Structure 1
Amino acid sequence: MTALRNGSRGLAVRQLQNQLNGHGAGLYVDGDFGDNTEAAVRAYQLKVGLVDDGVAGSKTLAALAGADISRLLKRKDLQQAAERLGVPLASVMAVNQVESKGEGFLANGRPVILFERHVMFARLQANGMTEAEAEQSAAQYPALVNRRTGGYAGGTVEHQRLAQAKQIHVASALESASWGLFQIMGYHWERLGYMDAQHFADTMSLSEAAQLDAFVCFIETDPALHKALKGKKWAEFAKRYNGPAYAKNLYDVKLARAYAQFAGEHAQEQAA
C-alpha cells in the first residue's frame, strides 16, 4: 500500500480527508494532500497514540478504518526508547522512519521475517554440525542451506521457508531469520538478553514495541553504534547498522533529513 503524504493527490486523498473529517478535522475535501491535511493526519495520530509523522501509511489508514492497532508502534514507545538511549525523540523517530521496514507484522498477524540461507549454513556449524554435514544439508536443501545468499521469497512464504528449515534444526533456523520492524537477526538473541532463539522469536511475535525493544538493545550493546547515534553522526551510524553499502542507498542523508524534520516539528510544538 502506497503511503499518502504531503503532495499526494487523487481519490485516495479525498477518502482520507473524509475519514479525518469523521474525527472532527474539518478539512475541505479536494483530494490534495497539503499542509492542512498533514496537520489533520498528525493530530489524528496523536489522538490514537500512533507515531505522529504526518504520513497516512498503512497503520494510520487501518486505524481510521477501525482496525485493532494494539500491537502497532506508538509514540510513547519511541519516547521511552529515546529516554533509554539518552537521545532526542527526533533521533529515534528518524531512525524508525529510515531504518524500519514500516510494518512489523504481515496481514496474517505473523511478524515480518526474512530467512537467510547462507546464515543457516553458518549457524548449523555454530550449533554443532560439522562442515561436511552442513555441506550435505546444503546439497539436499539448497534453498534453505547454502553458502550463497539469495533464495528469498518474501512475505508469508518466508515463514514457510523457516518452517522447512526448522525441520533440519530448530534453533539454527530461528537464528537465521531477521525479525520485525528492524530486521534483527535471530542469532543476536544471547547478546540482547533473551533466554534462547525461541524466546527471541516468541517475543518478536508480541508487538512492534517488543521489536523496538530488541532494536534498542541492539544499539545499547554496540558502544560505537550508540555513540554515533548520540552524536548524530549519521554516516557512522548508517555504516555500522547497514554495512559499507549504506552510502549507495543514501541512508545517512535520509537520516539527517528525517532528524532535521522531526527536530523542527518538536521545536514548533514546544514554542506553541
Structure 2
Amino acid sequence: MIGTITASRLNIRAQPSQQGRKLGEYSLGTLIDITGERLGWFEVLYQGQPAFLHADYVDLVEQPSRLIGRVTANLLNVRQQPDSNSAILGTLTAGNRVELLAQLEGWLEVEFNQGNAYVAREYVDLHPREAPQQGVVDANLLHVRSQASRQASSLGQLAAGSRVVIESRLGDWFEIPFGSSRGYVAATYIRTLQEAELLSGPIAENEEEEEDSSLAPAQPADEASRLPPLQRLPISGSSQARKVATTWNRYGGLLSRLSDEKQLDVACAVAVLCVESSGKGFEESNQGRMIIRFENHKLWKFWGRQHADDFHNHFRYKTSQTWKGHQWRATQGEEWHKFHGSQRAEWEVLKFARSIDNEAALKSISMGAPQIMGFHHEQIGYPSAEAMFDAFSNDIEAQIRGFFDFFSRTMVQRLQRQDFSSFAGLYNGSGQKQKYGSWIKQHYDALKQIAPR
C-alpha cells in the first residue's frame, strides 16, 4: 500500500505507540510505502528498519493512477511479471516517467508499450499527479527534447504562440504530450495560459477551426439528448443479461453517441454502469432519490482529521482496508449501525454528515449510476461537490455525461483493449480490481451475446 502524510509533521516511531521512541519525521504530502498495520498504526521501513506511523494522519492512495513515477536507476529492466527472473520486455532510463496501474509487494505494475508490465519499486520515485495546465510557447522556436536535458535529442520544434498541455514539471523542464508520446520543453520559455492572457488578453481560438465548427450542421436538441436507443433488447435470460438489456433500453441512445466520441465499444460503458449501480441512477423504493454510497474514510479526510474526537464519536472504519467496517451513530451513547446495502440508511448518514459539514459530506459520497465520488467534481466540470450533487440528483443525463467526462485517456485505452481488471484498478481502486474487472467482463459478454450483430 502507498500512503500520503496528511499532518504538517508526523513522528516516525520505533514502536506502534505514542510512547515509542521517535526516529524522525515525515512532512506533509510525503508518499510512503506501507508494509503492515497494527492497531491503528501503519508499519513502514525507515532507514532500512521497521518503524510506525499513526494511521489517522496517513491517507491511503486507493487509485495508483493518481501518482506518477520517475525512474531513478541509470537503467531499469521492465519485466513481464513481478519477478526478477521474469522475461525482460525492455528498459527505462533515469528520469523516464512511468504510468502506475497498481502496486504489489516490491513491484509496480506500469504501462509499457500499450500493455502492462512490472518494474522494481525501489528504483522509482513516486509523486502526486498534478492537474494538467495549458501553456503557450514564448520563444521564436522551441525544441521538444526526448529527456529533460539540453543534451537530449530533439523530437521536433514548436513555434511562438503554440499551445501545449503541461502534464508535470521536472526541475526546469515541463513534460508535455508530443505526437504519440511525451517530450520536454524548457520551462523558462513557456507561459501558462493564465499568464499569457494577463499580458495580452484572452487568446483567440484558431480562426480556421472556428470557421469549420460554424459550418458544421447543428444536431437537433432532441436527438442530442435522447436517452433510449432506436432498437430495444428483450429482457430475459441470466441476471447479467437482464441487467444489461434493461440498462441498454434505458440509456442506449445516449451511451452510443458518447461512446462513439471516445471511440469505445458501447458494451463497455453499459457493463461498467451495470457493475457500479445495476444501471440505475435513482432508487424508486427510496422516494426516487439518487443512488449514493457514503464513505466514512473520505469524510475523515475532508472533515474528520480536523475534528478527530467528533469524528470518532460518530463514524468508524477499518484503517487497513478503508472500504470495510463502515459504521455510524447519531449520538455517542447509542449502538453502532452498519449502513451499506440500504439506500435509506445511506441517505440517513448523509443527512447527518451534511448537518456537520455540507461540502465535506458531499465530497464523501459516490453518486448516481456511475458512482463517481463527489471530490472528483472539478474533473467533470462542477465548481463544487454540491453543484455536482444538485445536477446528478435532478438528471440522469448529467450522470451519464459525467460518467464519460470522468474517463481518463488511460481508462479509455484499457476499455478499448477490454483489459477490464486494469480499468477497474483505475476506476475503482487497485484493492479490488480483479473482482470488479471480472464483473465488468461478465456483463460485457452478456450484452455481446444478446445484442444484434
Q: TM-score range by the shorter chain?
A: 0.5 to 0.7
Q: Deviations over 1:195-237 (max 9, x none)?
A: 2111100111123222121211111xx2221221122222211
Bigger relative contact order, structure 1 or 2, given CA contacts below 8 A and separation 6+?
A: 1
Look up the equivalent residue of 1:110 and give its one-letter code. R
1:177 and 1:186 in contact (8 A); partners too? yes
Q: Deviations over 1:76-132 (max 9, x none)?
A: 12112212221122322233333433321122111011111211010116xxxxx4x
Matches within 5 A, 1:108-257: 108-124=287-303, 131=305, 133-142=306-315, 149-151=325-327, 152-153=338-339, 154-219=342-407, 222-242=408-428, 243-247=430-434, 249=435, 251-257=436-442
Look up the equivalent residue of 1:88 and give its one-letter code. D
Change (3 A) 1:73 1:214: farther
Change (3 A) 1:97 1:162: closer
2:414 and 2:420 in contact (8 A); partners too? yes
Give the Cα–Cα distance (whole angstroms) in 2 for the partners of residues 238 and 183 of structure 1.
Answer: 13
1:98 and 1:255 in contact (8 A); partners too? yes
1:174 and 1:198 in contact (8 A); partners too? yes
Change (3 A) 1:165 1:51: farther
SS of 1:182's partner is: coil
TM value normalised by structure 2: 0.39
1:120 and 1:173 in contact (8 A); partners too? yes
SS of 1:194's partner is: coil
Give the Cα–Cα distance (whole angstroms) in 2 for the partners of residues 54 and 254 of structure 1.
Answer: 21
SS of 1:178's partner is: strand
From the two aligned structures, give the one with the greater helix fraction: 1
Aligned pair count reads 200
**Which residue pairs with 1:64 in the alignment?**
none
**Which residue pairs with 1:98 in the alignment?**
275
SS of 2:290's partner is: coil
Look up the equivalent residue of 2:289 and give its one-letter code. R
Structure 2 runs not aligned, ≥5 long: 1-227, 243-248, 328-337
From the two aligned structures, give the one with the greater strand fraction: 2
Look up the equivalent residue of 2:310 and give its one-letter code. S
Look up the equivalent residue of 1:245 and give its one-letter code. Q
Structure 1 runs not aligned, ≥5 long: 1-47, 61-71, 126-130
Deviation at 1:180, TM superposition (A): 0.8
Cα RMSD after superposing both structures: 3.2
Give the Cα–Cα distance (whole angstroms) in 1 for the partners of residues 414 and 373 of structure 2.
Answer: 21
Larger Rg belongs to: 2
**Which residue pairs with 1:80 in the alignment?**
257
SS of 1:201's partner is: helix
TM value normalised by structure 1: 0.63
Give the Cα–Cα distance (whole angstroms) in 2 for the partners of residues 96 and 140 of structure 1.
Answer: 35
Change (3 A) 1:194 1:264: same
Identity %, equivalent residues: 24
Give the Cα–Cα distance (whole angstroms) in 1 for the partners of residues 261 and 358 of structure 2.
Answer: 33
**Which residue pairs with 1:40 in the alignment?**
none
Look up the equivalent residue of 1:80 and give its one-letter code. R
**Which residue pairs with 2:125 in the alignment?**
none
